[in-house]
Amino acid sequence: MSISTLSDKVKFIENVFGSGKLARNEKNFDIRCPICAPRDPSKRKLAIKIDDDQNHCWTCGWRARTLAPLLAKYASREKLREYIDRFIPETNKRFIENVLEQKSKVELPNDFKLLVTLDESDPDVKSVKQYLSERGLTERDFWYFRIGISDELRWKRRAIVPSFDANGDVNYFVARTIDKKKYPKYDNPDIENKLHIIFNEMNINWSERLVLCEGAFDMFKCGDNVVPLLGSTLNEESALFNSILINNTPVAIALDADMWYTKTPKLAKKLTEYNVDVVIVDTRSFDDPGSTTKDRFNEALLLARPFDWFDSFKTRLDHAVGMSTSISNDY
């Protein structure tokens, strides 16, 4: 980063968050943390890596990959827009360098082949296609999600769902067995940190509503503009969270039904705190997206309601009271 760009960024940060101090290593710029907000303004415990904007507070433990979460929560939309326009391209260069280090560790099996290109005379090919078809996938899905297989022992008789980053390079994959008694059901590549992964980022249209689901096999039923969280949480350290804020992307949360009273409202509340437009898909009638049909999920998506904190609190309270009553009746 040039001296002039560094100076511009420092001026921008101080304009928003108050005066700071360049650390002795000249790599971190320390400011008063707006999260824990110490009374003494001279306590500058939020360290910002000036080259890529990753930040960490040594007092409250806050962490984020860019300044976007802090700006979305503690500054104006205009300041966030200014940050994106002036500094995000430079920040992205650093992200790419960091991700490249991880990318070399994620490779598809050497003999990976796209399922749609293979002859069903091979019994394993036929079985994988049949398994996926029974789960409601079509040939168009095989192409769109680039599903494949491998004959390597570890991956044999598994449907392999690769993930590609914005540049079209593999950054992860999910492999699910088609055999009921085979363990583990899911087998994925071993990586140190999944926070930098945006599953199939290559497919995402950031200007349209983005569906967030839990797993890759939920993803198949959720339309084309969808990202599996590879779990049920999302936080400020993840590349996905930061990209949603940077692109001002509206979100539809479609976690499994067993998360309806716990992680679904928690995730919705977190995103709305950053002014993200959030609606919640009610999955309780079909348990999880992966077990329903595309049409039924689309109907639920059309009926999705904006997140309302009070309504969510009341729903969870009613559920807790109902559970308590049920337990009492059992005794």
Residues 209, 305: one domain?
Answer: yes
Residue 322 has pLDDT above 60, yes or no: no
Which of 187, 213, 241 is a domain's end point? 187
Give the total number of structural domains in the chain.
Answer: 3
Give Dmax (Cα) for the chain: 73
Residue 319 has pLDDT above 70, yes or no: no
Report d(CA 176, CA 219) in Å as an integer: 14
Task: List the CATH number of the domain containing 306.
Answer: 3.40.1360.10
Mean pLDDT of 281-310: 93
Report d(CA 169, CA 162) in Å as an integer: 10
Residue 136 domain boundaries: 113-187
Which is it for strands 28-31 and 21-22: parallel, antiparallel or unpaired?
antiparallel
Residue 195 in domain: no
Report d(CA 18, CA 34) in Å as an integer: 10
pTM reported for the whole predicted model: 0.82
Residues 177, 79: one domain?
Answer: no
- The Cα-based distances of 253 to 145, 165, 250, 295 in angstroms read 20, 22, 10, 17
Task: List the CATH number of the domain containing 10.
Answer: 3.90.580
- Each residue of 193-239: pLDDT tens digit? 788 899 999 999 999 999 999 999 999 999 999 999 999 999 998 99
* Helix extents (H) in the chain: 3-17, 68-74, 77-103, 123-134, 139-144, 216-219, 239-247, 263-273, 294-302, 309-330
Place of tokens 């490249």: 100
| Helical (H) or strand (E) element with 114 | strand 113-114
Which of 81, 103, 125 is a domain's end point? 103
Task: List the CATH number of the domain containing 155.
Answer: 3.90.980.10
- Each residue of 28-58: pLDDT tens digit? 999 999 999 998 988 999 999 988 899 999 9
Confidence of residue 191 (pLDDT cuts 50, 70, 90): confident
For residue 320, the 8-state DSSP code is: H
Mean pLDDT of 277-287: 95
What's the whole-number average pLDDT of the chain? Answer: 89
